[in-house]
Amino acid sequence: MSGSIFSLEGKGLKLNTRADLEPWLATVDPTKIEEIHFGGNTIGVDASLALAEFLRKTTVLKIADFADIFTGRLIDEIPQALTAICDALKDKTSLVELNLSDNAFGGRSVEPMVPFLTHNRTFQVLKLNNNGLGSAGGVVLANALLESARLSKAEGKRSSLRTVICGRNRLENDSAGAWAEAFAAHGTLQEVRMPQNGIRMEGVTALAAGLSQCPELRHIDLQDNTFTADGEVSGVEAWTEALKAWPELTTLNLSDCVLSGDGEVPVIITALAGGSNPKLHTLQLQNNNLDTETFMTLASGVSKMSSLMLLELQWNDAEEDDENLKTLALHMKRRGGKLLATDDDEEEDEEPEDEKVDEAPKDPLDDLVDRLNKVGIH
């Protein structure tokens, strides 16, 4: 533990009983804890009840990070453990962020979150990435957020919700409408990330309508959902219209979204190149069947995208010597930005996280031998 942060993150603990957990809590004053991180351990029902007692005593808690805490747990254990944790957090007015990502509890275990999502109307950040929710589970959670927005409105209060991260959950079209309605009801979203959810054109269209009611949006990630189908482009058109509602937008990730099915220039690209979002800093359009006509549109409009500093176009239908890409690269370089356009483009000056190796401190004796070798003494 460091200061106001209590962390057991990554320790690989198997916390089955109260006795397993209590030694870790014994020296911690819950009234001073602002952040708690439990990820990378596995928590059973009895240990969760002990943890809930600890959480109820917290008074200044801001971040509750319980990502990846149910590995190896039986499906009938998870709802009980999750209920204990969520109920303990339900009335925490200091809480800013709840992270329950990477817990594969599926749609059968979402009900324990409903009371928290409905009644805690001061938290701002909800992280539910990679939980296997499915469309049915997604509807339950979206409806809980919708009810929260309605209760806030009835009390004459503005929603506190700012960030929803809910990717890799197989939400699909059947839940997209419910999420759209919840987003619109809150109207306060600044960051929404819902990549890899199998949402197709109808659901994407609904999300555009819902999010268009959130004028403060800054970051949108819909990567690997589908904007077009069988020549129809209503998803692309809906998002083109919604762009007008987001003057603060800085990051837009629409990679792997099938923006162009027949090589035409997607209308959303034309709008962006026309300067629809002047604060746009990062635009990700990888693997969208985009060709030279689209690159020409971007090249002719890049000067109107004056804040753009990172443009990602890999895995499209680009020729290596495409003059439009050369023009784009030149513009981005002049402003200190970067264009990634070919399949082998990599970020420069940055070592991939999984390839970084911490070097052990050098032994002083080895250092002395090196210096002696350099001057020819053996």
The answer to whether 281 and 307 have CB atoms below 8 angstroms apart is: yes
- Of 69-78, 225-234, 268-277, 366-375, the range with the lowest mean pLDDT is 366-375
Q: What percent of the chain has pLDDT over 90?
A: 84
Torsion angle in degrees (nearest 10) through CA of 193, 83, 13, 47:
160
Distance (Å, rounded) from C-alpha 351 to C-alpha 356?
7
Count of CB atoms situated within 10 Å of the CB of 230: 6
Which amino acid belongs to residue 235?
G
Q: Report residue 263's pLDDT band, with 50, 70 and 90 as the boundaries.
A: low
Of residues 14, 12, 69, the one with CA closest to residue 36: 69
**DSSP strand pairing (251-253 vs 282-284):** parallel
- Following DSSP, what letter does each residue of 255-294 receive, concatenated? TTS---SSS---HHHHHHHTTSSTT--EEE--SS---HHH
Phi, psi of 372 (to 5 degrees): -70, -40
- Give me 335's structure tokens: 């402003």
Count of CB atoms situated within 10 Å of the CB of 366: 8
Phi, psi of 282 (to 5 degrees): -130, 125
Which amino acid belongs to residue 305?
M
| Interacting residues of 376 by C-beta distance below 8 A, sequence separation 6+ | none
Answer whether residue 361 shows pLDDT above 60: no
Q: What is the pLDDT of residue 260?
A: 86
Provide the mean pLDDT of the chain: 91
- Give me 1's structure tokens: 């533990």
- Give me 58's structure tokens: 């917290």
Helices (H), the chain: 18-25, 45-56, 78-89, 114-119, 134-154, 172-186, 201-211, 234-242, 267-273, 292-301, 323-334, 364-374
Distance (Å, rounded) from C-alpha 144 to C-alpha 140?
6
Answer whether residue 53 shows pLDDT above 50: yes
Topology of domain 1-105 in CATH is 3.80.10
Answer whether residue 177 shows pLDDT above 70: yes
Rounded to a whole number of angstroms, the CA Rg of the chain reads 24
Listed by start position, the domains of the chain span 1-105
**Which has the higher per-residue pLDDT, 155 or 363?**
155
Q: Report residue 174's pLDDT band, with 50, 70 and 90 as the boundaries.
A: very high
pLDDT tens-digit series, residues 132-173: 999 999 999 999 999 999 999 999 999 999 999 999 999 999
